[in-house]
Chains A and B, each alone.
Chain A
């Protein structure tokens, strides 16, 4: 099964912009992988921010957006807030099974 790769850690300044990416070992990520992005804070279950590349849940803050960039899935945070400090995971559909990326620890500092 595919290995899905994310940046292990990123830092963004309050109010700044950062892009997290998600790559697949089987080739470029496409809309067919139906990329998801989840946010997880310590001691909490994950929650979906983005599904199907760029669709937001009703609870997803407007400052988060999803896209495909250079063959990768991307999550862009524009105007980072302290409460956005968390672990972020992408999830890709691999023709039946799903595969999570290793996660990106985002620090807002």
Chain B
């Protein structure tokens, strides 16, 4: 059974940092690009970043460039999102997603940025 399980979210003050993790199982993680997508409460989906199979290529949405860093460890079947300089507007449910065609999604991990 394919599983993507996000962790590392929680409450953080503006300007703070968090590192999200996504543990993958049930498929060959190293075969696929992986993505982070977020959804603010009551809002739509926002694609944030992706990373190539070997980590050699990364892309970001403009709103997080320079603040967020995507990375992966294929030996641990894990995807990461380092989030720095967090803003109130970064409050959202964060999903990891991947597969040939965004086939696999986690259930999301809530990040709340508030003072």
Contact = CB atoms under 8 A, between A and B. Distances in A.
Contacts of A55: 101
Contact of B44 (A36, A47, A97, A103): A103
Given A1-B62, A45-B108, A97-B61, A36 B47 contact: no
B59 interface: yes
B107 A1 contact: no
B26 to A, nearest CB: 15
A100 B102 contact: no
Contact of B45 (A1, A48, A100): A100
A16 interface: no
B95 interface: yes
B: interface residue count bin: 20 to 34
A97 B47 contact: yes
Interface of B is mostly: strand
Interface string A41-84: 00001111001100101000000000000000000000000000
A100 B95 contact: no
Contacts, number: 54
A77 B44 CA distance: 21
Interface of A: 1, 36, 38, 40, 45-48, 51-52, 55, 57, 87, 89, 91, 96-103
Interface of B: 35, 37, 44-47, 50, 59-62, 95, 97, 101-103, 105-108
29 contacts: A1-B61, A1-B62, A38-B45, A40-B45, A45-B95, A45-B105, A45-B107, A45-B108, A46-B45, A46-B95, A46-B97, A46-B105, A48-B101, A48-B102, A48-B103, A51-B102, A57-B103, A89-B45, A91-B45, A96-B59, A97-B47, A98-B35, A99-B47, A99-B61, A100-B44, A100-B45, A100-B46, A102-B44, A103-B44
